[in-house]
Structure 1
Amino acid sequence: MNKPDLDQWTTAFALIAFLGLFMAPLLLKQAGQQKHQIRYIVAILVLFSLVLIYYVLYWSNYLQFFPFLNRMAELLFLSFGVLFYCYLKELLHQPISFRIRKIHFLPFLVATGIHLLLNLLDRILPASAFQSAPLSYYRYFYQSLPWLVLVHLSLYAIAIVRLQPRFQSLREVAQWARWFSLCYLGFVLANWSYQVMVNMSFFNRDWDYAISLSMAIFIGLVAVLAYLQPHIFQTNRLPISELKALTTPTVLFPSVRLSAGIPRPSIPADPEVRYRHSGLPAHIARQFAQQLQELMRTEKLYHDNELRLETVAERLNISRHHLSQVLNEQLGMNFFEYINSLRVKEARELLRQVPRQQLNIIEVAYQVGFNNKVSFNKAFKQTTGLTPSEFRRSTQDKPDYNCSTPTDEN
């Protein structure tokens, strides 16, 4: 049994691995409630760090004390391409659905399941059992696994390269996406180089560190950018230099809501001017507008009288600022105007079709999402020019003359 020992390389990699594990929770905290993009960066950081620790244990001969960890690093490699690709899709505001993500992770899950099964059988069956079919074929799984990993990594490398032209309109995000993609391509190249040269006579042990070095560079890059440009890891928030172009405080401080009665500062009337630095292209905004309308049509979220902008933004996997941009640019309304318009539209149908004896005015208001009659009457009249009672009397065949005034109906 070789004596465990750490050299300069393994010590450096161990320190970088612990740096990655330290950075991961900080990035999650920095992202606040909008974690839909940063979760992939955190997952990559954690997995890269764990693989680095595995390699340190292997090179320093400490792995002999943890035999159950054998080959786990190779299995984790089947998840890296998926995580890099999913993060870039999030940056493009084209999130991959949970069902499709499960398909992407299927190779990792299947390979891990086979590995765990073989390890279990190895513990409960005698060694002679693996010398006859079908268990004799288990060795082919481990012999082919490195090449399967390389093919898997390469396919996602091609997919990531094909995504690059779509970032051209995203300004500063494009630069980060380029660095992020280059880290992955370097990681894939290091794996191919190692696998091709490992059996060659001139192979040097120091070259064995190439894969770990590519992972260490990625961890270092994230650590540096998290300090110098933290907005990159805050779900695409804008840098301060660009935020100065926006004059509304609800953009600068999204957690602060203006109280009723406090005048809003003046903002550019044209949404294209107001959001010219947002990093959300018009064609992407149109896609989000369609998704928003479909979400409201199918799930009728506006029935919740406490519905908030943040809630809808999370359902769409988009920041609250970008959702405001979509509403202003594509639909010409702010959030509360849009929600009230949906409520009034449904209320009109109810008032037209359902008589008072079955559903009175206040019941209609509550059913469509208003929490009081005053706000319902005000929103309804602003939209239709009539009070709910006047609208009902004008549309139903049998007018209700028991109501002496428009506000008498309860």
Structure 2
Amino acid sequence: MNLALMYFSTGSCFLLSFLLFFHPLKQNSKANRWLAFFVFLMGSSFLGISFREATGHLILFLNAIQFLMAPSLLLATLYFVNPTKTLTPKDGLHFLPFLFYVFIECFLFSSDGSLIRQKLFSIGYADFLVRDLLPVQLLLYIGLSYLALVRHQKNLRLITASVKEINLDWLRYFLLILALVLIFWLNDALIGMSFMLKVMPIVYAISAFFLAYFSIRQRTIFAFDKKKLQDISELFGTPQNDDSKRSTRLEKNEIAILSEQLDRLMTNEKIFLDNELSLPILAEKLKISIHDASYLINEVTGNNFYNYINSKRVEEAKRLLLSDKSEELNMLGIAFASGFNSKTTFNTAFKKWTGLSPTQYQKQNNQR
């Protein structure tokens, strides 16, 4: 094993954990502190690998805290996707494996060596040790974190029409890198392929670099005040597709009045051209709650906020593409003039609603 690379990976993780904990831009503070804790534990795990055969209180400590890696990753993810997340007694259940391990190690285990290296059972020619529970636990929690991110992407479409910068794709890449690390970890624990063992320190070092790259580039996800964050959290917790569980928030006469106001905002003021438009902003203009605004859009249009606003922007783009302004503006200019904040989002939305790219649509209609 290349100890120099393992020490490099350890130091990189410790440095990254420091930067995340004291994030210079103060973004997503609670989530980043949990993520910092996870990355610190990951560095401790690399350090433990380097001193695998050593003994002493430090090694026992490093072995024990590895059982905190998986829950800290999940809690970081939950804080990223929930604007008002707070710790609950239910969250404490995730720390039971750590407490159970410490209790056995300190009070019940009396053999020479460490509990972490004790055999549980055999798989073919390989022995499954207590330490091999760690990658299995982490794999399970990576899956739970990924599912939380999938729900997050759906929830974002309830409050914004521009999800590219805040959809936490960087965290999905983070999880994929961790899954790659787990493959090498499991090989080290159970299979022992010599080639993978040789390149394992290199993979760990590269992984540490990309984990730092993706985590430092993050942006603030929910840039709203506390009241709006509470309303958004309530909205996310309400079933959107099950009519039997969705309460009627507005009376028919209220919906009629508000739908007229909504139509005026879109038709006369064209507020959808503001690429910073969000559901909280729209709710303020309608003088109703965020939850009521979401309910109104769903009742009137049958769509969520994301689809509703972007469909309006596509209609505006279609008009501009066939107007004299198309000679003055390139495709990026058309995108911005229609309310989109990136060409990628523009192209994706345009093709979704028309079945054509903007260029194809323009050529097809100019030939008529």
TM-score by length of 2: 0.49
Query: Higher relative contact order by CA 8 Å / sep ≥ 6: 1 or 2?
Result: 2
TM-score by length of 1: 0.45
